[in-house]
Amino acid sequence: MIKTLNQLVPGETGIVTKVTGTGPIKKRIIDMGFIGGESIKVLKYAPLGDPIEIKVMNFNLSLRKTEAALIEVQVG
């Protein structure tokens, strides 16, 4: 099932399929390691729900929900 990264719950894993969006935001997301075929895991959400902590390429990163919505993930 294809979801966007902001729809995953803590503990859920997936494979990045595509990064949507344009310009510097898309480039920044790709530079952080969110490339097609890369495995990711959602670790936790901040107390108010934004940002999201994600493990990708053995790094823990934080993304805003708006940025996470630009990343499509294959789950399950």
Q: pTM, whole model, 2 decimals? A: 0.88
Q: Per-residue pLDDT tens for 23-56?
A: 999 999 999 989 999 999 999 999 998 899 999 9
Torsion of CA 16, 64, 11, 18, to 10 degrees: -10
- Tell me the residue ranges of DSSP E strands in 1-76: 2-4, 13-19, 39-45, 52-56, 59-63, 71-74
Q: What is the pLDDT of residue 76?
A: 78
Percent of all residues in the chain with a pLDDT value above 70, rounded to a whole number? 100
Q: Per-residue pLDDT tens for 50-59?
A: 899 999 999 9
The correct answer on CATH 3.40.630.30 for the domain covering 2-74 is no
